[in-house]
Amino acid sequence: MNYSVVLPGGIAGLFLTLAVCVSSCQDATEIVVQDLQMEIPADSRTFSETVLPGEIADTRIEHLAYAGPASPVIDLEAGHVTMFIFLAGTGVLHADTFVRHLTPESIAIPMDDIGSVRLEVPAGEELHFLQFTKKLTDEDNEDLASFPADNKYSLYFTRFVDTEPYTEKIKSPNTVSRTVLPADIIPRVSLGTVEAPGPDRVGAHEHPMLDQLFLGLTDNDIVVHADNASAELGEFSVLHIPIGSSHSVTVGENKKMYYLWMDFFLNREGQEWLKTHKPVSTDETAVQDKDPT
């Protein structure tokens, strides 16, 4: 016996709306964004928060801040590589025999069995930074051993502004891009900056071979688009690009695009993607503050 049910127009329309909503919700892309707390609470001298927990495999990200005067010692975890991205404030970094003066928008990666670093934060300063702790796999350790001698450092340190510029087809001629951390220094990790005045855009592209984070730098005010989703990214906020999505960036009139991209490749073959970045020059004077072994 066959049954048929005829619904009144209003009810049928409601069911159709619900069906479309369920379908679109299932297909929706989620862009995860976290705003960093850039002020230490008045009743404290330190602050810490976990950033995007679980978003990047085998990688722990923390936002740490110290109010001066302070001299914290940070122990580095064995079997991992630790990367510091300095965001605001000034100080001094001590790593083994190396001493480096810290300014906003600089990077430090202690290597070569350095077990701890000490920071000096002067009175009146608040030093804010991100600390990435990435577990090294057996393949990572093999890669570290095989990297060219020129890529091996006891302490990798540089300011963003001192790094090599590059061009890319998906960016306009008004864009200044820089490679902050080239490939084959840290296994399967590379970093760079993108800067341009608005209005401008970074064209849509996909890279399913890597997980990518964006960190909004000073005065950054952009919109990130991924498939059918969009999210605003301001300064001192961290965003996770949905892996495999078609994504792009737009910046409006009288606004600024200025962010740090952080690529975490799923395997070493995925680093072929970086060949789309074409160096503007091969002048090595910009990296004179790095410390080769």
What is the rounded CA–CA span in Å between residue 273 and residue 293? 28
Nearest to 81 by CA among 49, 119, 113, 117: 113
Flag whether 6 is in a domain: no
Flag whether 112 is in a domain: yes
Flag whether 2 is in a domain: no
Flag whether 204 is in a domain: yes
Domain span including residue 228: 32-292
CATH number at residue 276: 2.60.120.10
Flag whether 17 is in a domain: no
Taken as a whole, the chain contains a residue count of 293
Flag whether 25 is in a domain: no
What does each of the 293 residues of the chain score in pLDDT, given as a tens digit?
443 344 445 544 544 444 444 444 456 789 999 999 999 999 999 999 999 999 999 999 999 999 999 999 999 999 999 999 999 999 999 999 999 999 999 999 999 889 999 999 999 999 999 999 999 999 999 999 999 998 899 999 999 999 999 999 999 999 999 999 998 899 999 999 999 999 999 999 999 999 999 999 999 999 999 999 999 999 999 999 999 999 999 999 999 999 999 999 988 777 776 777 778 864 443 343 445 44
Residue 189 pairs in a beta bridge with 264
Cβ neighbours, 10 Å, residue 24? 10
End-to-end CA distance of the chain: 83
Flag whether 19 is in a domain: no
- Return the residue matching tokens 């300095």: 86
Flag whether 77 is in a domain: yes
Please state the domain count of the chain.
1
